[in-house]
Structure 1
Amino acid sequence: MKKMTKTALATTLGTTLMLTSIMPAVKAQEITPDISNWAIEALNDGEKFGIFPVEWYYEGFRSVISNGRLNSLMDLTEKKIASLDLPKNESFTPAAVRGDNTRGDIINRLYNIVAQYDLNVAEDAVAYMQERKILQGSEKGLMLEKEATTQHAVIFAVRLIQDTFEQANAGAKGVAWVVEDEDTKIYLLGSIHVGTPDLYPMHKKLTKAFNDSEGLFVEANLLDPSGIEYYMEKAMYTDGRTIKDAVSEETYVKLEKVAEKLGLPMEELELQKPWLISNNFTSLTMDDAFGLTAEEMAMHGVDMQFLLSAYLQQKPVYELEGMNAQVDMFEGLSLEAQEESLVAALDGILEPTEQSDEDLQLMADWFTNWINGDVDKFAASLTEMEGDTSEFNQMLFGKRDENMAAKLADVLEEQDGTFFVVVGAGHFLVDKNIRYHLEQKGYEVKPFYQ
């Protein structure tokens, strides 16, 4: 892991655009994996569990699963279930496994993973898997003797994990609240814009609140093509200027060194504005932080998960700011602030030996406290940013929180129904945050978990 900056840390709680950059959203839109329509929603959840690589989608996903893939899937599924640290079932008797990769044999292998724990697990593997809706047949029946495809094996594993976490009353709780009036209820979830498989699956109470809602509110809809187009348009010089005109000679030399180190063509970087380069390079400081690339961590971000789920459920998505507004925030930064952020990102790449364990531990604590739903501990970690009055940090919070709270107050006053809100956790926890402004308007904001 390279040297991480306070900018990178603040942004994981402050704005959608930075660390998610734009490429994960573009990928989510443009890549069409070879999967069945009935499997898409379950796979969208399951790919966050860390039990299979998404590369499987593009090579024989609907063909008979290989031994290598199946063994890897089973091993990682077993580790995921073991992470629950459940008490063991001392009278467990494993189901017979033939090793022929049939649907029935895979069901037995998965049954042996969960039945070793002290859960309410029936003695018959097939009956248990049917009862829990992990094994679902078709008009052709259960087809237990048919060789399983990669897709079927993955779906079985995903369903098992989801069901077992639900039985254990486990799963990431998040930092969440609820606000309502006579005819409107709004769930408020504080997001971390990057994540790891440990954040998934989420707690059943949280996912039920989302599933029962009539619409999703986010800071910016990263899947909106018009927003992506605006981002790309504003992020590039088109008037004859280049990055060399915007930064000092010293910063430009650092940029050349980073380009050489990363094998990036300077002719492309020349046309990018300082805030775009800073955004992209800041995300690189996340590489390998938790054994994932920056792009993988972005795809594990909480808001991206709910955005994709909303699209799959055909749930309306509303923006509290919009990508255009977030781009305009970066455009509105002074050149001095943009260069300061860029230098920090460049130094993080050029001087990786300066990285301390403190930044990594801070993020690990964020993830742990978010998973546990420990709002107080999560909020306490924000003291890392206290006293930072930089132009960049002032941009992330403050007026934005007041504006987003005003829009949510309008929803409470003008709409009927239930809505789900996902914005950066910092917007609910810093001084004079969204909750504060809603309370100033007379609304009571209650903890989601009581």
Structure 2
Amino acid sequence: MNKLTKTAFASTLGATLMLTSIAPAVQAEQAAPEISNWALETLNDGEKYGIFPLEWYYEDFQTAISQERLNTLVQLTAEKIASLDLEKNDQFKPAVVKGNNTREDIVNRLYNIVAQYNIGSENDPVKDMQKRNVLLGSGAGLMLEDKATTQQAVIFAIRLIQDVYEQANAGAKGVAWVVADEDTTVYLLGSIHLGVPDLYPMHKKLTNAFNDSQGLFVEANILDPEGMAYYMEQAIYEEGKSIKDDISEATYAKLQEVAKLLEMPIEELEAMKPWLVANNFSTLAMDGAFGLSVEELAMHGIDMQFLLSAYLQQKPIYELEGVNAQVDMFNGLSKEAQEESLVSVLDSILEPVEQSDEDIALLSEWFMNWKTGDVENFAKSLAEMEGDVSEFATMLFGQRDENMAKSIVDVLKNEPGKFFVVVGAGHFLVDKNIRYHLEQAGYSVTPFYE
């Protein structure tokens, strides 16, 4: 698989702070899976856990679950809970499983996963799952003898994982802080714009802070259709112009080679501006990392998770910058800077090198530091991006951090209540970051988990 060099790989993760997350948003508009409204919020959380493939949404999700699907769900749920390394329950006695895929039988199978650990299980599987808010039932009762649908079985498994992680005081902590004055509290969360199932579920204290907040602030709301329309308008050349007008013949020749290699129509690439082609090809270079596609990595991104949660909770979403502003930043890069970035990516495809252990280790380190809430080591790992004085790197930080800090100060001064801010982690960790500017404005920024 084609990969970037270590430096380019690190820079790409920063550069795709907005564009990486567009794929799942567009994809969501193209298909309409049959999901019950009551299940949407739970499924939005649980689909990040890695316990079922999203393809299930589009085929027989509301009909009786097959044995193959149930076996997959149970196995992956067991692995997710086993990863916590909980103390074993020596008194565990497994419930009888008949294999008839009724709601009761699935309850028993899930009970046999959790009751083998010292995590406060009841002796009766049904009572245990009721206590954990896994088995809720309806006006018709618990319907234990009914065949379980795929949706019901998935919901049971998600609820069980959420309960166990909460009981074990587990879950990804993130890199987070709090800034407050007399009548306003702002939670600051540093995001990674790509993600993996290991980052989910998040720690209950973090999700509670979000749930208690009256609004979400993000860099850019990439689910806003008007912003996406502007993005498409600005990223594509007007009629009569093409990428050939802005790059050298040598670079265009490389673009033709890549188009042929990837079996892409050169006409489509000619219509895109250099920064868009560079970003698209850069994300392709990540395809398959951690066993996930580019779309799956973006779907697991922290900011995407909170954006979707805010929509489902009908929580107001505010932009610290906006899609338009971020598109304008890319458009504002000089032709030289855009071409330099494009050439770097094209070369990585035409002259592929085996993805080094260091590249994967860098991103893995970011994920681990985010999961454990290790701010100090996260800041050290981001040093890969410091010292770069290129036009591209300068665009990513600097003035942006000062401007976003000013917007947060405005909230503190003028908006009483609780608010949740999610922006790229680098904006809180590099030199003269958002926290620095807030402290310069006279505010105390304290660790979230103090």
- TM class, shorter-length: over 0.9
Q: Distance in 2 between matches of 1:12 and 1:273?
A: 19
Aligned 8 A contact 1:244 1:252 in 2: yes
Q: Secondary structure at the match of 2:286?
A: coil
How far apart are residue 27 of structure 1 and its match? 2.0
Aligned 8 A contact 1:29 1:223 in 2: no
Query: Which has the higher mean CA deviation after the structures are superposed, 235-244 or 210-219?
Result: 235-244
Q: Secondary structure at the match of 1:290?
A: helix
* 1:176 aligned partner: 176
Q: Secondary structure at the match of 1:353?
A: coil
* 1:298 aligned partner: 298
How far apart are residue 15 of structure 1 and its match? 5.6
Aligned 8 A contact 2:12 2:282 in 1: no
Aligned 8 A contact 2:173 2:372 in 1: yes
Aligned 8 A contact 1:19 1:282 in 2: no
* 1:231 aligned partner: 231
Q: Distance in 1 between matches of 2:359 and 2:2?
A: 10
Q: Which AA in structure 2 matches 1:378?
A: F
* 1:116 aligned partner: 116
How far apart are residue 132 of structure 1 and its match? 1.1
Residue 9 (structure 2) pairs with residue 12 (structure 1)? no
Superposed CA deviations along residues 140-191 of structure 1, whole A, max 9, x for unmatched, are 1101111100000000000001111111100000000000000000000000
* 1:436 aligned partner: 436
Runs of 4+ in 1 over 6 A off after TM superposition: none
Query: Which has the higher mean CA deviation after the structures are superposed, 259-268 or 22-31?
Result: 22-31
Aligned 8 A contact 2:23 2:298 in 1: no
Aligned 8 A contact 1:187 1:421 in 2: yes
Query: Which has the higher mean CA deviation after the structures are superposed, 156-165 or 11-20?
Result: 11-20
Q: TM-score, normalised on structure 1?
A: 0.98
Identity %: 68
Aligned 8 A contact 1:218 1:320 in 2: yes
* 1:153 aligned partner: 153
Aligned 8 A contact 2:14 2:396 in 1: no
Residue 314 (structure 2) pairs with residue 314 (structure 1)? yes
* 1:418 aligned partner: 418
* 1:400 aligned partner: 400
- CA RMSD in angstroms comes to 1.2
* 2:272 aligned partner: 272
Q: Which AA in structure 2 matches 1:361?
A: A
Q: Secondary structure at the match of 2:177?
A: strand
Q: Secondary structure at the match of 1:419?
A: strand
Q: Secondary structure at the match of 2:122?
A: coil
Q: Distance in 2 between matches of 1:368 and 1:23?
A: 24
* 2:207 aligned partner: 207
Aligned 8 A contact 2:16 2:279 in 1: no
Aligned 8 A contact 1:190 1:424 in 2: yes
Residue 80 (structure 2) pairs with residue 67 (structure 1)? no
Q: Secondary structure at the match of 1:48?
A: coil
Which residues in structure 2 correspond to 1:24-35 (within 5 Å)? 24-35=24-35
Superposed CA deviations along residues 367-392 of structure 1, whole A, max 9, x for unmatched, are 00100000001001011122111111
Q: Secondary structure at the match of 1:208?
A: helix
Query: Which has the higher mean CA deviation after the structures are superposed, 254-263 or 41-50?
Result: 254-263
Aligned 8 A contact 2:274 2:342 in 1: yes
How far apart are residue 247 of structure 1 and its match? 1.1
How far apart are residue 355 of structure 1 and its match? 2.9
Q: Distance in 2 between matches of 1:179 and 1:104?
A: 47
* 1:377 aligned partner: 377
Aligned 8 A contact 1:178 1:186 in 2: yes
Superposed CA deviations along residues 304-331 of structure 1, whole A, max 9, x for unmatched, are 0000000000000000000000000000
* 1:331 aligned partner: 331
Q: Which AA in structure 1 matches 2:10?
A: L
How far apart are residue 440 of structure 1 and its match? 0.2
Structure 1 residues 14 and 402: CA distance shift in structure 2, 3 A: farther
Q: Distance in 1 between matches of 2:411 and 2:57?
A: 40
Q: Which AA in structure 2 matches 1:374?
A: D
* 2:131 aligned partner: 131
How far apart are residue 10 of structure 1 and its match? 3.1
How far apart are residue 334 of structure 1 and its match? 0.6
Q: Which AA in structure 2 matches 1:404?
A: M
Superposed CA deviations along residues 61-80 of structure 1, whole A, max 9, x for unmatched, are 00000011110111111110
Q: Distance in 2 between matches of 1:115 and 1:2?
A: 45
Aligned 8 A contact 1:15 1:424 in 2: no
Q: Distance in 2 between matches of 1:213 and 1:232?
A: 32
Q: Which AA in structure 1 matches 2:177?
A: W
How far apart are residue 9 of structure 1 and its match? 2.0
Q: Secondary structure at the match of 1:178?
A: strand
How far apart are residue 7 of structure 1 and its match? 4.3
Which residues in structure 2 correspond to 1:188-267 (within 5 Å)? 188-267=188-267
Aligned 8 A contact 1:8 1:283 in 2: no
Aligned 8 A contact 1:11 1:18 in 2: no
Aligned 8 A contact 1:177 1:448 in 2: yes
How far apart are residue 262 of structure 1 and its match? 1.4
Q: Distance in 1 between matches of 2:12 and 2:102?
A: 47
* 1:76 aligned partner: 76
Q: Which AA in structure 2 matches 1:146?
A: D
How far apart are residue 354 of structure 1 and its match? 4.5
Q: Distance in 1 between matches of 2:207 and 2:229?
A: 31
Q: Secondary structure at the match of 1:421?
A: strand
How far apart are residue 350 of structure 1 and its match? 2.3
Aligned length: 449
Superposed CA deviations along residues 196-246 of structure 1, whole A, max 9, x for unmatched, are 111100000000000000000000001100000000000011141211121
Structure 1 residues 14 and 208: CA distance shift in structure 2, 3 A: farther
Q: Which AA in structure 2 matches 1:440?
A: Q
Aligned 8 A contact 1:7 1:341 in 2: no
Aligned 8 A contact 2:187 2:209 in 1: yes
Q: Distance in 1 between matches of 2:89 and 2:141?
A: 31
* 2:358 aligned partner: 358
Q: Which AA in structure 1 matches 2:286?
A: M
Q: Distance in 2 between matches of 1:231 and 1:283?
A: 17
Q: Distance in 1 between matches of 2:2 and 2:111?
A: 42
Q: Distance in 2 between matches of 1:290 and 1:232?
A: 30
> Structure 2 regions of 5+ residues with no counterpart?
none
Q: TM-score, normalised on structure 2?
A: 0.98
How far apart are residue 348 of structure 1 and its match? 2.4
Q: Distance in 2 between matches of 1:112 and 1:351?
A: 51
